[in-house]
Structure 1
Amino acid sequence: MEAISAVVQLAGGAVLTTLALAVFVMYTQPANIVHFFLRLNKWRTGCTTKYVKVGEQQFAYMERGRPSKNQPSLLFLHGFSDRKETYCEIIMHLPKHLHLIAVDLPGHGDTGIKAKADLTVEAYAAKLHQFISEVDLNHGPLHIVGHSMGGGLAGCYAATYPEKMWALTMICPGGVKVPENSVMFEKIFRGNKHVMIPETVEQAEEMFNICLYNKSLIPPKRVLQGYVDYSKPYIDFNKELFDAMLELGQDGLTPYLGKISTPTQVMWGRHDKALHIAGLDVIKREMSAPLQVDVIEDCGHTVGLEAPKKAATFLLNFRETVLNK
C-alpha cells in the first residue's frame, strides 16, 4: 500500500510540475497558448494531421473518417488569415461516420506558398483542384464548405469544376459586393486598410470586436498577445493577399454565382460586421441553382466559434435535403 501511495504522489507531483511548467512557458511565450489550443481542439475532434506534396508545394490538412458511397466527403475551406483548425468546433458536432478533410490553404497555417505566387481566386481554385486529386478525393462528388474567403473560393471552385461537386455550403462568403458597407469595410475605406491583420494587442481587440457578436468570447489580453505573436510570421503575406483581394473591389465571387449548378446552402450570422449580410440578396438574385438559406441569430462573422452546434445542425439538415432529392 505504501508503494502504491508513493507512486500516486510521484505521479501527482509530475502532473503538477508539468502543468506549472506549461503555465510558465505560456506566460513567458504567449504564442504557445495558441499552439496549445490548436493541438487540443484537433485532438478533441479525432482528426489526424497529414501532409501531401502538390507540385512543388506541401499542403497540410486534417482528416477524419473514410470515404463512403452513401455519404459524400466534406472538404472544409477556412477564411482569410485563418487555418484548418477553425472548423474543429463544428466538426465536434458532426457524426464520426462522415469522411471529412479540412485543409490549410496556400500561405496559411502549415501550408506554404511560393514567392510572388498568383493570389487570384482562380489561381487558388486551380491549386485546390490539384490538392483534391492528390489526396484521392476523386472517389465521388464532394460537399465543399467554405467560410468567408474560403466561401468565395468554394463558390468559384463549384462554378469552375461542377463535375466535382455534390453540394456547396458558403458561410458568410467573401467576394460579394453590396450597396451598404460593413463595419470592416468602413474602417478600410477610412484608411485602416489592414484592420484584419493586427500587429498589437489593441488592434487584435479591434479585429475580434468586428468578428464576434458575443463580446464575452473576446480573449483576455494575454491570449490576444499570444495571437499577435503567433501571427507575426504571416503578416507580410496576409497584407499582400488582402491587398490582392481588395483590388477585385469586393466582387470576386459575384461573377461566378450564375455559373453554379450545384445545390447550394448559404449560412450567415445575422450580426456579421465583417461581411454584410446584404450579400444574401445578391446571391439570391444572381443564383439559379437550388438554394437554401440559413441565417443564424445572435451571431457575427465567426460562425464556427459563436454557433458551432447550430451551424453543424444546419449543415446536416442541408445534406439530408440533397440526399433525399
Structure 2
Amino acid sequence: MDLDIVNMFLIAVGTLLIPILAFVASFLLWPAALINVYYWYWRRTLGMQVKYASYGNYKFCYITRGRPGPKPSILMLHGFSAHKDMWLTVVKFLPKNLHLVCVDMPGHEGTTRSALDDYTINGQVKRIRQFVESISLNKRPFHLVGTSMGGNVAGVYAAQYPSDICCLSLVCPAGLKYPNDSEFFKILKEVEKSGDKQKIPLIPKTSEEMGEMLRLCSYVRFKIPRQVLQGLVDVRIPHNEFYRKLFLDIVSENSRHSLHDHMDKIKVPTQIIWGKQDQVLDVSGADVLVKSIPGSQVEILENCGHSVVMERPRKTAKLLVDFSSSLKEAENHKKHD
C-alpha cells in the first residue's frame, strides 16, 4: 500500500514537473517559440481569429473579432516592423460588441512580401485600400486607427479616400515636418554623418541593440530578461533585410513627409494621441496636425513614450471608444435639431 502511494506521488510530481521543465527549456533555448505561443494564447483568450483575404495574387493576413453592426468597425494599422498582434493589448480593453480588424501591413508577418512591391507610403495606402475592398469593410464608413508608420498611412488614406471612413485616430504618426528633433532623429543624423548606413536603431541585430531600441521607444522601463530580448531579436533577424528596404522607402523623398503633404486634405473628424516623452517622433508634431486639420482633438499622455499602445493600452482603448461615441452623439443631436 505504501509503495502504491509513493508511486502515485512520483507520478503526480512528474506530471507537474514536465510542463514546468518544458517551459523553462523553451524560455532558455527557444524564446522565439515561446513568444509565438504567447500571441496565440492572447488571440484565443480575446476571441480574435486569424483570417486571410486575397486581392488578385496578393494575400493579406489579419485578425478580427465580431461582425459589422450599428457602431463603426475599427481598422487598426501597426507601425514599422511590428505586426497585427501588437494591438492585442488595446483589444483587451475594447468592448466585445465592436467589430475589430487588425491587419499585417504590406510585407509584414503573414501578408505578402515581394521585392517588386512598392513600400512607399503611397504604395502602402493602395495596398490597404485593396485589403479594405477585399473584405468589403467600406460598405459602411469605418473608424481608421494608425500608429507611427501606420499613422502616416492612415492619414494619407483618409485624405485620399474620405468616403471610406467616419473618423480617424492618429497615434504618434510618422510623416510630418516636426518643429523639434526627437532623440531618434538626432541618432539618424549622427549615423548619416558617420556613413554607417547599416546601423539603424529600429533594426536591432543583438539582444543589446534590442534593449536599446525598446528604451528608445518606451518611456516606461520594462525589466525584460536577456532571453526574451534574444527571442525578440531571433524573430526579427530573418526579416531585417526587408525592414532595411522598407525603412529606406518610407524615409525617401517621396514618403518622408507624406502625412504633412496630405494633412490639409483630411476632412473627417480626427483624433491625435501622443506620448509626451516620445523619443522616436517628437510630440511637437501634434501641434502641426492640429493647425491643419479643423476641429481635430488632441490627447497628450504624460509619462508615455512612442509605444503608446504598449505603455497605455487601457487609456488608448478608452480614448478611441470615447472619440467614436462622441461623434455618434453629436450626429444624433443634429438629427433631432
- 1:284 matched to 2:266? The reply is no
Separation of aligned partners in 2, 1:159 and 1:11: 62
Question: Which ranges in structure 2 are unaligned for 5 or more consecutive residues?
Answer: 331-337
* Aligned mates of 1:273, 1:295 — CA distance in 2: 14
- The alpha carbon displacement at 1:222 in A equals 1.0
Query: Which residue of the partner structure matches residue 148 of structure 1?
Result: 148
* Structure 1 partner of 2:64: 63
Counterparts of 1:292 and 1:312, CA distance in 2: 16
Tell me if structure 2 keeps the 8 A contact 1:63–1:102: yes
Aligned to 1:157, what secondary structure does the other structure show? Answer: helix
Point out the more displaced range, 43-52 or 267-276.
43-52
Deviation at 1:204, TM superposition (A): 0.7
The answer for unaligned runs of 5 or more in structure 1 is none
1:99/1:11 Cα in 2 relative to 1: closer, same or farther (>3 Å)? farther
1:197 aligned to 2:203?
yes
**Which residue does the alignment assign to 1:316?**
321
Partner deviation per Cα, 1:70-107 (whole Å, 9 max, x = no partner): 20100000000000011101110010000010000111
- Tell me the TM-score normalized by structure 1: 0.93
Once the two structures are overlaid, the 10-residue window that deviates more, 240-249 or 89-98, is 240-249
Distance 2:47 2:13 in 1: 27
Shift of 1:13: 4.1
Quote the residue 1:295 is aligned against. Answer: 300
The CA deviation string for residues 108-136 of structure 1, in whole angstroms up to 9 with x for no partner, is: 12112211211111111111111111112
Q: List per-residue Cα deviations over 1:6-25 (Å, max 9, x = no partner).
A: 99986774453133223213
User: One-letter code of the match for 1:168?
Assistant: L
Amino acid in the other structure paired with 2:159: A
Per-residue displacement from partner, 1:217-262 (whole Å, max 9, x unpaired)?
2522111100110001210010001111221374121011000111
Deviation by residue 1:262-299 (Cα, 9 ceiling, x = unmatched): 100010001000100000111112223x3111111111
Equivalent-residue separation in structure 1 for 2:100 and 2:16 (angstroms): 34
Return the alpha-carbon distance in structure 2 between the equivalents of residues 48 and 160 of structure 1.
Answer: 29
Instruction: Determine whether 1:208 maps to 2:253.
Output: no
Kept in 2: contact 1:151–1:170 (CA 8 A): yes
Percent sequence identity is 36
Q: Indicate the structure (1 or 2) with the bigger Cα radius of gyration.
A: 2
Partner in structure 1 of residue 333 of structure 2:
none
1:176 paired residue number: 176
CA separation in 2, counterparts of 1:323 and 1:11? 57
State the match for 2:261 in structure 1.
Answer: 255
Partner of 1:232: 237
Local SS of the residue matching 1:49: strand
User: Structure 1 pair 71/15, CA: closer, same or farther in 2 (3 Å)?
Assistant: farther
